[in-house]
Amino acid sequence: MTYEEFLRSKHITVEESGFEVDTKKINGVCFPWQKDIIKWAVKLGRACIFSYTGTGKTIMQLEWARIISEMSGENVIIVSPLAVACQTQHEAKHKLGLRINNLRDCNTPGNIDIINYEQLEKVNISRYGAVVLDESSILKNYSGKTRNEIISMFSKFKYKLACTATPAPNDYMELGNHCEFMGVMSRNEMLSMYFIHDGGETAKWRLKGHAEDKFWKFVASWAAIFTKPSDLGYSDDGFKLPPLIYNPIIVKSDYIPEGHLFSVEAKTLNERRGARRESTESRAKIASAIVNKSKDIFLVWCDLNYESDMLQKLINGSVEVKGADSMEHKEKSMIDFSQGKIKCLVTKPSIAGFGMNFQVCHNIIFVGLSDSFEQYFQAVRRCWRFGQKKPVNVWIVYSEAEGAVIENIKRKERDAESMVARMVDHTRKYVIDNIKIHHKYRIKNNHNKKMEVPLWMQKL
């Protein structure tokens, strides 16, 4: 291998494996900017769509699946969170006139099938050649079994699409998981090329200063990142969020951590759990009073089982969804709530916080929070999303001893908003260029410049 060949081998190229598609062939229900993204993703063959809730990721991924299936002849498997499969089926049928099969209910696979993550291991993957990951932020657990299995399972697929609103709410490294899933490069390769360790914390990385622009240009070559149509140069008409109204309610606490003589703010995980348990009844009574005196629909989020049990008992007409419930009960309850058939749904963000469209509701109550900002973000966005017509009320009922949890969530929220804004700012130009020009991206290095030896070295 010559030196020139060696340098060329180091070029990072995102190979196009898809098809040119005429915009007229894309379903007319799609907005112009959605058509451009679909066209770009189909041409690339392997792509990510990172866009905020309510921007129509379901429509875009369904159209991508249809076009890829028709043009390649491959069957497509869509993987989604529980209950989102039924919601996706409904949108496919009623908005696009497209039939997809839910493999949980249908023994006869079709051209486009859907299954939830929990049952993916039961699917015969060999009959598919294309995959869509809905709510692909499941890849965030980069050292976890799920992440490794999903990447390995679809590693040889020629056509891939990953969609999520929160690819990396607090950590750029999650982008590496998507990069590896796409088959562009491994997460470790991405880290070594663009990042350095941040001090002594080996789990934290930061962008190399000189590599920042190249990194975002690289990301934009396989991912479209935006929060609203204007980020892509389009009008935001019809895509403006209503007001979000926070209503924090602090419950007095008499909790005294072990080793203390009087009540103090809970710091450790055990102390926070103790403070939460001590104030459960008070918080549940406040939440139930808010719901019971209103005729509106409410979504009540909790974090622990005993909170869920008490809320279900105190709130009139409420339906509780717990982890131990059957998949049928979980799915039916979430679908019924999305259709306005249930006055109050009581559940956890880890169960129903991803993918569902609960725009029918504009009242949210948190009775207990974990330290996960992503779960909090997704839980709020079930209702506060593009298409919501009413101001969204968010009550956060917490013990005064849990102030550390609230401050932690607020800090993470500020960090996430700042990071997303930087992501959009850095990638806007490249994303707009890519989706409108559909060109192949290559990092260019000028290796033809003649090297000059400094005069002081020539005299040695």
Q: Is 199 or 222 the better-scoring residue by pLDDT?
A: 222
Rounded CA separation 192/207 (Å): 10
Geometric angle at alpha carbon 167, from 373 and 72, rounded to 5°: 150
Rounded CA separation 322/455 (Å): 75
Q: Residue 335: how many CA atoms within 13 Å on its side-chain side?
A: 17
Cα 366 from chain centre: 20
Average pLDDT over residues 12-19: 79
Rounded CA separation 194/421 (Å): 20
Burial of 51 (0-12, 13-18, 19+ CB in 10 A): buried
The whole-number pLDDT of residue 82 equals: 85
Average pLDDT over residues 399-425: 79
**What is the CATH class of 3-235?**
alpha beta
Contacts of 237 (CB under 8 A, 6+ apart): none
pTM, entire model: 0.83
Least confident of 3-12, 313-322, 370-379: 3-12
For residue 67, pLDDT beyond 90: yes
The whole-number pLDDT of residue 14 equals: 72
Q: What is the CA radius of gyration of the chain?
A: 24
Task: Find where tokens 């934290």 sit.
Answer: 204
Contacts of 191 (CB under 8 A, 6+ apart): 173, 176, 205
Which residues on neighbouring strands pair with residue 249, listed in sequence order? 397
**What is the CATH class of 244-412?**
alpha beta
For residue 420, pLDDT beyond 50: yes
Q: Is 196 or 293 the better-scoring residue by pLDDT?
A: 293
Tokens representing residue 190 in the block: 């991405």
pLDDT tens-digit map of 244-254: 999 999 888 76
Q: Torsion angle of alpha carbons 194, 196, 198, 202, nearest 10°?
A: 110
The whole-number pLDDT of residue 358 equals: 95
Average pLDDT over residues 75-95: 92
Sign of CA dihedral 24, 30, 36, 40: negative
What are the CA-CA distances from residue 59 to residues 56, 87, 96, 231, 326 (Å)? Answer: 5, 11, 8, 19, 28
Among residues 352, 397, 402, 406, the alpha carbon closest in space to that of 379 is found at 352
Share of the chain above pLDDT 70, in %: 82
SS (H, E, C) the chain: CCHHHHHHHCCCECCCCCCCCCHHHCCCCCCHHHHHHHHHHHHHCEEEEEECCCCCHHHHHHHHHHHHHHHHCCCEEEEECCCHHHHHHHHHHHHHCCCCEECCCCCCCCCEEEEEHHHHHHCCHHHCCEEEEECHHHHHCCCCHHHHHHHHHCCCCCEEEEEECCCCCCCCCHHHHHHHHHCCCCHHHHHHHHEEEECCEEEEEEECHHHHHHHHHHHHCCEEEECCHHHHCCCCCCCCCCCEEEEEEEECCCCCCCCCCCCCCCCCHHHHHHHHHHCHHHHHHHHHHHHHCCCCCEEEEECCHHHHHHHHHHCCCEEECCCCCCHHHHHHHHHHHHCCCCCEEEECHHHHCCCCCCCCCCEEEEECCCCCHHHHHHHHHCCCCCCCCCCEEEEEEEEHHHHHHHHHHHHHHHHHHHHHHHHHHHHHHHHHHHHHHCCCCECCCCCCCCCCCCHHHHCC
Tokens representing residue 275 in the block: 């403070």
Q: What is the largest CA-CA distance in the chain?
A: 90
Phi, psi for residue 300 in degrees, rounded to 5: -110, 120
pLDDT tens-digit map of 29-44: 999 999 999 999 999 9
Q: How confident is the model at residue 118 (pLDDT cuts 50, 70, 90)?
A: confident
Which residues on neighbouring strands pair with residue 46, listed in sequence order? 160
The whole-number pLDDT of residue 458 equals: 60
Geometric angle at alpha carbon 21, from 386 and 32, rounded to 5°: 30
Spatial contact of 50 and 156, defined as CB atoms under 8 Å apart: no
Q: How confident is the model at residue 441 (pLDDT cuts 50, 70, 90)?
A: very low
Average pLDDT over residues 91-101: 93
Spans of all domains in the chain: 3-235, 244-412
Rounded CA separation 158/161 (Å): 10
